């Protein structure tokens, strides 16, 4: 399967994240994409550098205010104080209910809080460059599918994107690559696009971007937000609003649930996609459903990822795969390529 890969992902390399009040090494590391790249090459898949500029699509799924903040965040952080180039910025204050988010403060930390859903998404010098390259890959993939030059494309990019909403970052995500791909497919002529999110964590950003729209169906299977990140979205009663009513499907599963139960939920998701008569599919391919994932609690084995790919292939739709989470880095290549090769029936 044709794969987009950009070396720019290395530019996003923060050192630490917060866990239980302590700084711990980041789970979302450059090694992840390199393991996937190596496995793709080993199995003979073609790697190409994205050529599309995602700016126009980014402007349709994110706010101008947020994009402007993110593009210049590192510059502004470094300008704030001597030595900041060697430090990581973290938000420490957020505009929760009753506080105003319409006015953008001048203070950098206040702006960082305004545009963040958590303190777990550290920025580094090249975050914008890496995230932009991932969005460019998503835009390139959508363009190729729209022009019928490819049937399916895999975007091997990081940082991931599905927690990023129209105007916020979160959960290691900055730009919503799946949303860029879906919007690109819509603009390229697909009347109905389905986004299937199989990451362990609910794709709150993608859901929120398309929540009021009937042209993009969002479906997610994930750890129940009652106990699992992102906690504040992803429940079964979130079904869409306005024109989008009925076009959002959440299938929360208990942490620790069995593989057969996971595949039952996948089957329900696939039946809904078929009923929607989607013209194209975007898969938010999180691989943190793997049994050995260090931060997640599902139980999929490497061969289960082949079965996932096979089921998605049966949908018979032009498909963009976008890499999301998955933190058992050394096994990430095998698991990702298993999905792709299952899809291809190889």
When CB distances are held under 5 to 8 angstroms depending on the partner's kind, the choice from ligand SP5, Zn ion, none that residue 126 binds is none
Contacts with Zn ion in 4-43 (CB under 5 A)?
Answer: none
Per partner kind, with CB cut-offs from 5 to 8 A, the member of Zn ion, ligand SP5, none near residue 108 is none
Q: Which is nearer to Zn ion, 252 or 325 (CB)?
A: 325
CA 265-268-272 angle, to 5 degrees, is 140
Nearest approach in angstroms of CB 288 to ligand SP5 is 5
State how far the Cα of 71 lies from the Cα of 109, in Å rounded to an integer. Answer: 15
- The least distance separating ligand SP5 from the CB of residue 106, rounded to whole angstroms, comes to 29
Is the Cβ of residue 186 or residue 201 nearer to ligand SP5 in the bound state? Answer: 201
Q: Of Zn ion, ligand SP5, none, which one sits near residue 160, judging by CB under 5 to 8 A according to partner kind?
A: ligand SP5
Measure the CA–CA gap between 113 and 89, rounded to whole angstroms: 10
Q: How far is the CB of 187 from Zn ion (least distance, A)?
A: 27
Q: Which of 45, 62, 162, 163 is catalytic?
A: 163
**Contact region for Zn ion (CB under 5 A) — 74-82, 177-185, 196-204, 301-309?**
196-204
User: Which of ligand SP5, Zn ion, none is residue 224 near (CB under 5 to 8 Å by kind)?
Assistant: none
**Site residues for ligand SP5 per CB under 6 A:** 19, 120, 160, 163, 171-173, 199, 201, 229, 286, 288, 295, 324-325
* Reduced 3-state DSSP string for the chain: CEEECCHHHHHCCCCEEEECCEEEECCCCHHHHHHHHHHHHHCCCCEECCCCCCHHHHHHHCCHHHHHHHHHHHHHHHHHCCCHHHCCCCCCCCCCCCCCCCCCCCCHHHHHHHCECCCCCCCCCCHHHHHHHHHHHHHHHHHHHHCCCCCEEEECCCCCCCCCECCEEECCECCCHHHHHHHHHHHCCCCCEEEEECCCCCCHHHHHHHCCCCCEEEEEEEECCCCCCCCCCCCCCCCCCHHHCCCEEEEEECCCCCHHHHHHHHHHHHHHHHHHCCCEEEEEECCCCECCCCCCCCCECHHHHHHHHHHHHHCCCCEEEEECCCCCHHHHHHHHHHHHHHHHCC
Choose between 229 and 305: whose C-beta lies nearer to ligand SP5.
229
**Which range, of 18-26, 185-193, 287-295, 299-307, touches Zn ion by CB under 5 A?**
287-295
Stretch that binds Zn ion, among 1-9, 15-23, 102-110, 286-294 (CB under 5 A): 286-294
| Residue 12 binds which of ligand SP5, Zn ion, none (CB < 5-8 A, kind-dependent) | none
State the minimum distance, in angstroms, from the CB of residue 274 to Zn ion: 26
Are 52 and 140 in contact by the 8 Å Cβ rule? The answer is: yes
Q: Which residue in 30, 165, 325, 342 binds Zn ion (CB under 5 A)?
A: 325
Taking CB under 5 A as the rule, does residue 288 contact Zn ion?
Answer: yes
The minimum distance between CB 203 and Zn ion, in angstroms, equals: 9
Q: How far is the CB of 269 from ligand SP5 (least distance, A)?
A: 18
Q: Which CB, 229 or 276, lies closer to Zn ion?
A: 229
Q: Which positions from 198 through 217 interact with Zn ion, judged by CB under 5 A?
A: 199-201
**CB of residue 14 vs ligand SP5: minimum separation in angstroms?**
13
**Residue with smaller CB distance to ligand SP5, 35 or 276:** 35
User: Is residue 163 annotated as part of the catalytic site, yes or no?
Assistant: yes
Considering the complex, state which of residue 136 and residue 199 has its C-beta at the smaller distance from Zn ion: 199
Token digits of residue 164: 């990023």
Query: 3-class SS at 154?
Result: strand
- CA distances (Å), 151 to each of 96, 148, 206, 311, 344, in order? 43, 7, 23, 16, 10
Query: What is the 8-class DSSP label of residue 242?
Result: G
Identify which of residues 293 and 341 has a Cβ nearer to ligand SP5 in the complex.
293
Instruction: Please give the structure tokens belonging to residue 24.
Output: 């711990």
Binding site for Zn ion (CB under 5 A): 199-201, 286, 288, 325
Residues marked active site are found at 163
């Amino acid at each position: 399967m044709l794969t987009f890969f950009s070396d720019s992902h290395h530019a996003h390399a923060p050192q630490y994240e917060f866990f239980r009040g302590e700084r711990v090494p980041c789970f979302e590391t450059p090694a992840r994409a390199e393991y996937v790249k190596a496995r793709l090459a080993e199995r003979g898949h073609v790697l190409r550098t994205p050529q599309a500029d995602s700016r126009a699509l980014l402007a349709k799924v994110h706010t101008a205010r947020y994009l402007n903040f993110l593009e210049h965040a590192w510059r502004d952080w470094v300008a704030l104080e001597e030595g900041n180039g060697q430090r990581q910025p973290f938000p420490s204050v957020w505009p929760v209910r009753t506080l105003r988010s319409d006015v953008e403060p001048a203070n950098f930390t206040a702006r960082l809080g305004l545009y963040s859903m958590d303190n777990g998404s550290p920025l580094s010098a090249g975050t914008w460059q890496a995230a932009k390259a991932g969005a460019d890959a998503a835009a390139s993939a959508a363009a190729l599918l729209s022009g019928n030059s490819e049937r399916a494309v895999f975007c091997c990019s990081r940082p991931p994107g599905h927690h990023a909403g129209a105007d916020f970052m979160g959960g290691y995500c900055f730009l919503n690559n799946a949303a860029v791909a879906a919007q690109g497919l819509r603009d390229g002529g697909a009347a109905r696009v389905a986004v299937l999110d199989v990451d362990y964590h609910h794709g709150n950003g993608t859901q929120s971007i398309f929540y009021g729209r009937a042209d993009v169906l969002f479906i997610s299977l994930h750890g129940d937000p009652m106990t699992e990140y992102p906690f504040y979205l992803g429940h079964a009663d979130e079904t869409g609003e306005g024109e989008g009513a009925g076009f959002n499907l959440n299938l929360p599963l208990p942490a620790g649930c069995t593989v057969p139960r996971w595949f039952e939920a996948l089957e329900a998701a696939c039946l809904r996609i078929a009923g929607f008569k989607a013209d194209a599919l975007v898969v938010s391919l999180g691989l943190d459903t793997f049994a050995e994932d260090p931060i997640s609690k599902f139980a999929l084995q490497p061969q289960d990822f082949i079965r996932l790919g096979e089921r998605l292939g049966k949908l018979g739709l032009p498909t963009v795969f976008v890499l999301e989470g998955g933190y058992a880095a050394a096994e990430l290549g095998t698991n990702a390529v298993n999905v792709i090769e299952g899809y291809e029936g190889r």
